Every structure is written in C-alpha cells, then in structure tokens.
Structure 1
Amino acid sequence: MPLFAVLFEDHTADADAIRRRLMPEHLAFLERHAGTIEAAGPLKAADGSPAGGLWLVTAETAEAVERLVHEDPFWPTGLRKSVRICAWTQVFAGGRRRI
C-alpha cells in the first residue's frame, strides 16, 4: 500500500490556544487511526518556532489521505494554513538501501 507524507503549515494567530484546547481530541483521533497514520508530530523551524506538522500515512490514494485530514479535530478550526500530500517511497532506512 502506498505511503504518503502529509505536511501541514499552520496559521500562527491563535495556533497555540487551538492546539492546547483540542490536543486531547487530536491525539484520540490519531490513536483511532493508528493502522493508517503511522507517525505524526509537530515541526519546528530552525529558530524553534512552530512550523506545522508531519504525518506518515499508509493509504490507497491521496484522496483517502485528504479525507482523513478533514476528519482531524484540528481541521474545522482553521488552524491549518495549508496541507500538502505527497506520495513517498522510502529508499533508505536503518543504514540500508530499501530498493
């Protein structure tokens, strides 16, 4: 099954307040989709400021990933400024080539 990298860029206004308020729901959402969302976490800029987030998702299509993104409790809040869904092929991990 294809693997996708999902890159989130967040709005900076009110982002911390939204995250704090909805983090328990967001984490419960990630747990419910643990079979699909393989990894998830925040991104930080070089200066340490918040820069959005990253998910690694196993799904049949990019459209299926997009539906999942829209189910996230963060989505309807306007927290996400942009979302980029990219198919990803792992070619190197654990010190070894994968292809």
Structure 2
Amino acid sequence: MKLFAVLFEDERQDAAAIRKEYLGRHFTFLEENAASIKTAGPLNREDDTFAGGLWLVEAESSDDVDRLVKKDPFWSAGLRKSVQILAWNRVFADGRRL
C-alpha cells in the first residue's frame, strides 16, 4: 500500500450552503472509509474562510484514490473545484527521520 496526499480546492460562492447541507453525509462517508482515509480536514485561508481540504489516504494506486474521492458526497454535490492526488513518502515524523 502507498500513501497519497489528496488536496481539494473549493471555490464556489454557495460553498458554505453546500458544506452545511452535506456535512453529515460527508462525515459518515469518512467514517465508512476509515480503513483507507487515514486523516482528513479542511484547509482555511488566513481570514479563516474555507479553501478546500486535505486527506491522507492509504491505497494501492492513485486510480483507487480517485474512485474514493468521487464517492464523497461533497464531490457529487459539486463542492470541489479541483482535486490533486499525489503520492507521499513519509520520511520524517515525531522529530526523527524514518
């Protein structure tokens, strides 16, 4: 298995309304996929407005991650402007090299 960083960009004027309507379903989705989605959370600008989100996902391939992304209620609701799926190699954690 590989680790992937998934970067979401949200740039819709109605993003707050979409987020509010779909947040419960989004959290349920994250919980149901916790074996793959190791951590997730929003990204905010300095003025504390939402900018998007970040996931760390364990999967066999970026195609597997892409399929997972497209099952997220936030994706199907049109919240996400874009997504980047990048392979990530952990080389430093807890103050030391791995």
Give the TM-score, by structure 1 length. 0.96
Q: What is the number of residues matched between the two proteins?
A: 98
Determine the structure 1 residue equivalent to 2:60. Answer: 60
Determine the structure 2 residue equivalent to 1:41. Answer: 41
Does the 8 Å CA contact 2:40/2:54 hold for their aligned counterparts? yes
Distance in 2 between the 1:85 and 1:54 partners? 10
Determine the structure 1 residue equivalent to 2:11. Answer: 11
| C-alpha distance after superposition, 1:15-40 (max 9, x if no partner) | 01101101010000000000000000
Which structure 2 residue ranges, 5 or more long, are not aligned? none
Distance in 1 between the 2:48 and 2:74 partners? 22
Letter aligned with residue 29 of structure 1: F
- Partner-residue secondary structure (3-state), 1:6: strand
Q: CA deviation at 1:46?
A: 2.2
- Partner-residue secondary structure (3-state), 1:63: helix
Letter aligned with residue 6 of structure 2: V
- Partner-residue secondary structure (3-state), 2:38: strand
Range that drifts further, 46-55 or 15-24 = 46-55
Q: Does 1:29 align with 2:29?
A: yes
Give structure 1 regions of 4+ aligned residues with deviation exceeding 3 angstroms: none
Question: What do you get for the CA RMSD once the two structures are aligned?
Answer: 0.7
